[in-house]
Amino acid sequence: MKAFLIDRYGRHPGRLGEAPAPAVGPHDVLIEVHASSVNVLDSKISTGEFKLILPYSFPLILGNDLAGVVTEVGSQVTRFKPGDEVYARPPQARIGTFAEWIAVDENAIALKPRNTSMAQAASLPLVALTAWQVLVDTARLQQGQKVLIHAGSGGVGSVAIQLAKHLGAFVATTTSTANVEWVKALGADVVIDYKKHNFENVLHGYDVVLNSVGADVLEKSLKVLKPGGQLISISGPPTAQFAKEQGLSWPLQQVMRLLSLGIRRKARKQDVRYTFVFMRANGAQLQHIRALVEAGIINPVIDQAFPFESAAEALKYVEQGRAKGKVVVSIK
């Protein structure tokens, strides 16, 4: 089958080549991939930024999102059948959606929202699961609470704004001048143009901050939170608790503890809790998200679509950090 692969870690383009067809285990669903989408995670995996956490072997097929059609099911699969249109974020140990086919554990899959195209559905799993696991699972965001979502025009931010508004929160976000009105249309109550204002001087008394950008923004975000607030980061630094949950070795747990020591200390001084969230595959949560999409509560946001042959260009475009919403790759 055709696939987009890398042969080693580093800042070099991947290649479109041939790869063996996936084996289908008893709990797997074989999916003909119609569309995938590009995430910052793909770039970080490619450069080796996560090689201590996610030790992949080569050649490695990239890709963390998919929408497609079930073509075969394993002997123990009960919830899907050939012909079902599905969407998924594969478990992290078995990524590889930049390919014509992929085998995915049935617990990571959900039926595709009926009111979306394959491209729209493929844009959702990773970012929507991230937003859900930050705002619902970790923050337990309540009606009337105040949340700051950084980078509101990005893939995670654009979905998180919509989900937070559905949960009844007051939502602030940061973005560049060109996207101010655009993120307001997504539902943000307050928009800080980071080119004109310092968000930490404007916003105060917030319950939750979702950080997806750099360390400087992470530290400044402490000033926004009220005592008892939560600073939740999806861009690091990781914690020892995260390393333990990942099943990493004791030495790596201590490395993670040291990496996050500074921000955890500063958070404690302000009576704020710091948490690092690394999104995990979850088909049951995708079913909840599907219902929200079909109800028009969450709308997929696509910036550009690239043909499969231009997957390297799609990755390069996402790395520039200017995409509004998601970048999609059409496989079929």
Spell out the per-residue pLDDT of the chain, length 332, in tens. 999 999 999 988 899 999 999 999 999 999 999 999 999 999 999 999 888 888 899 999 999 999 999 999 999 999 999 999 999 999 999 999 999 999 999 999 999 999 999 999 999 999 999 999 999 999 999 999 999 999 999 999 999 999 999 999 999 999 999 999 999 999 999 999 999 999 999 999 999 999 999 899 999 999 999 999 999 999 989 999 999 998 999 999 999 999 999 999 999 999 999 999 999 999 999 999 999 999 999 999 999 999 999 999 999 999 998 899 999 999 99
pTM of the model: 0.97
Gap between the terminal Cα atoms of the chain: 12
Q: Which CATH number fits domain 2-123+301-330: 3.40.50.2000, 3.40.309.10, 3.90.180.10, 3.40.920.10?
A: 3.90.180.10
Query: For residue 212, what are its two tokens?
Result: 């997806």
Domain extents for the chain?
2-123+301-330, 127-276
Helix axes 283-294, 125-132, angle to 10 degrees: 100
Give one DSSP letter per residue of 94-153, joined into a string: G---SBSEEEEEGGGEEEPPTTS-HHHHHTSHHHHHHHHIIIIIIS---TT-EEEESSTT
C-alpha gyration radius of the chain: 19
Residue 320 bridge partners (DSSP): none
How many other CB atoms sit within 10 Å of the CB of residue 26?
Answer: 10
∠ CA 18-51-130, rounded to 5°: 90
Cα gap 201→191, rounded to integer Å: 13
CB-neighbour burial class of residue 281 (10 A; exposed 0-12, middle 13-18, buried 19+): buried
Contacts 24+ apart (CB under 8 A), 234-238: 234/130, 234/134, 234/156, 234/210, 234/276, 234/277, 234/278, 234/279, 235/211, 236/260, 236/276, 237/263, 237/276, 238/53, 238/276, 238/278
Task: Determine the pLDDT at residue 52.
Answer: 84
Note whether 2-123+301-330 and 127-276 share their fold: no
3-state secondary structure of 82: coil
Which of 3.40.640.10, 3.10.129.10, 3.40.50.720, 3.40.50.620 is the CATH number of 127-276?
A: 3.40.50.720
Q: Which pLDDT belongs to residue 301?
A: 94
